[in-house]
Amino acid sequence: MTEVCKNGHVRTAENTRWHKDSSRNRTRKRCLDCKNSGKINSQGNPKGGPNPKDMMRQATDFLHEDIEDLLKFGATYNEIIERSGYCDWNTMMKSLKRRGRTDLLDAMKAKKVQV
Could you tell me the pLDDT band of residue 5, with boundaries at 50, 70 and 90?
confident
pTM reported for the whole predicted model: 0.56
Asked whether residue 64 carries a pLDDT value surpassing 60, the answer given is yes
Specify whether the CB–CB gap between 18 and 24 falls below 8 A. Answer: no
> In whole angstroms, what is the distance from residue 41 CA to residue 48 CA?
10
As a whole number, mean pLDDT of residues 68-72 equals 92
* Residue range 94-112, pLDDT digits in tens: 999 999 999 999 998 888 8
Average pLDDT, the chain: 80
Could you tell me the pLDDT band of residue 46, with boundaries at 50, 70 and 90?
low
As a whole number, mean pLDDT of residues 49-54 equals 67
Residue 25 has φ and ψ, to the nearest 5°, of 55, 50
